[in-house]
Copies of this chain bind each other. A is one copy, B any other.
């Protein structure tokens, strides 16, 4: 019956095959008739330019399952570059940053609904609002947090600002939130007359140690520090551990007004900021809702009692540099004579505090904070474009929505591009295209308070996400300058390089890659350097709780010109649409570059048949980090502490060999894999990073479970390889308590063993390629 030779027979065979296919393949897309969807035919040329024979359809049904659409639809990739439109991007940004977007406020919820609607309009298959009830912290708008200076008769001789001076129509919203440090407790700290505060530089451990060395004990004192170097939450924690009573944080002009503080030098005349700009931000250094660590903050969730929650215990208040100067002056602070009125205090810190200058000997300084905690509904928006071949494989793309102010950079430059990317894929979809795998677009709520929205969602869906996620692409503030900066799982290092080579340059380079490489060439690097991830944004839950390969990137300020940690207007009232529109990206080419990168990255991971992870980079990075860990005699110390440390080194070597073998086999078989084997190989790679997850978490860090890469324990903005080992080694020899020291060593031995096991498992996880 199947081998008939007549024309009639052939038709019969074809008809039977068609029938059989109806049975085996289930719902067939309507694309089999190219006349109905001419544009789809263009877009899906490989599958649709047939003359209508059943064999073609038959062949294409099988081919569809293994087809590398990324390769076969190169023209589509080019179309996408063209479709990302600067006018749309500008309009999106303008709308998003027209008013402040504090998490949990009506404006935030309104934007959530707007984004949901935009996904619907883009033709997404689903678009949902997903609320969580999370513990947020707000200041009292009718009773602002203040720092005051009182004279001998308790008269207030100085009062700090509690919001920025209005300098442009874009920063004049009457509902703008007062300056505060979220999760800083309420408090009223007043120093004894004559005793001012102690300047503690960046409030790092090293700074406090230096003070201790100099005989200055901060215990019982109010301290003042500048922003920078480490996450502000860690500054509070460290000050608290040293028994300070409160901490004032100020923006150093050297960081935020590096070319001068006169009105002509700063906003609204440049992207530097004036003296009233205040950096708001969270001081909570956990992940997600502190009341529900490890589980989702659904309406009915069990919640810890607030008293059992680890939140800052001493009040903290951020101020601008004008006010900081007033306060520091009383301590003999920096003179105003320098061209740049930086407050970088190169003199020994002893020169500042705690005693006020003689002329202020009867003065006292007072910090009043009136923040309060509130369980608040915060929405995520989740939109999907279902995959055609593997609907149960997710490529996720997320960006938070909330801001401390207008958020034109952080996060709305990212939201603006996400909306445009959604529109572009929606357009393709309307023409009949679908990705191979499902694309998931996420607008996260309450990121600024501690990655609330993304963390709760991850905790809610952990199994599904671990089972089905191919990659998570994060975008936060995407444009704060022209220089590309990327941090990612090493599995995504090659892909991002590949994509940047396809995206036209955003300034004078031919491609983004060329510009990126040029930036690094200035630092004498032969190619761009990509870092591993910190806990700085919503990738944290995906990467460090789930082990899902993640990437975060943005265009930042020009690091060759300015030695600053972050763009000047960060979290202040001057992060406005005007700022971006006028100074940072007036022709929206950088934002266009962002959108183009996101779109192509998404398509690359969604449509490649073999998931394009850079496996070798993972092995190389671990090898390099092991060398770095062992440097300066640490390797020998580790062997002294645990004589089986070499087994870990051996495991790293085995892992590398296993990766190399696997990569070679993929190369050899890539083009000949059937659909099931393709899926099996992809599953194996997709789950590789998860083999690094320690279910109970790193020692003392239950929500950070990645044994190989993790945020730095002493700076949530930093990153660390072999994080548990580094943390446990940190100052192990300075501990004076013998019992504690021995316990720490024991924990270290056990953790080294855990990391060894994880690496051994990872190596074996790939070894079963023999099965395939």
What residues make up the interface of A, taking CB atoms closer than 8 Å to B? 2-3, 5-7, 10, 13, 17, 20-27, 50-53, 55-56, 58-59, 61-63, 65-66, 295-296, 298, 300-302, 384, 386-387, 389-392, 438, 460-464, 467, 644, 647, 669, 671-677, 679-680, 683-684, 687, 690-691, 695-696, 749-750, 752-754, 756-757, 760-761, 764-765, 768, 771-772
Contacts and interface: CB of A to CB of B under 8 A. Distances in A.
A23 B61 CA distance: 15
Nearest to A673: B26
Nearest to A705: B695
| Minimum-distance CB pairs A-B, first 7 | A302-B753, A3-B53, A391-B771, A26-B672, A392-B680, A695-B695, A25-B674
Contacts of A295: 753-754, 757
B22 A463 contact: no
A151 to B, nearest CB: 51
Contact of A672 (B10, B22, B461, B463): B22
A300 B2 contact: no
B24 A672 contact: yes
9 contacts: A2-B50, A3-B50, A65-B674, A386-B771, A392-B768, A392-B771, A438-B771, A460-B761, A463-B687
A24 B392 CA distance: 22
A390 B676 contact: yes
B13 A683 contact: no
Number of this chain's copies in the assembly equals 2
A17 B59 contact: yes
Contacts of A389: 676
Given A24-B672, A58-B58, A461-B764, 6 more contacts: A3-B53, A24-B63, A26-B677, A300-B756, A464-B768, A695-B696
A647 B300 contact: yes
A22 B461 CA distance: 40
A298 B63 CA distance: 45
B761 A463 contact: yes
Nearest to A693: B463
B26 A674 contact: yes
B768 A55 contact: no
A10 B54 CA distance: 12
A311 B691 CA distance: 31
Contacts of A20: 59, 63
A696 B460 CA distance: 16
B24 A62 contact: yes
Contact of A684 (B24, B26, B392): B392
A161 to B, nearest CB: 44
Contact of A3 (B5, B55, B464, B467): B55
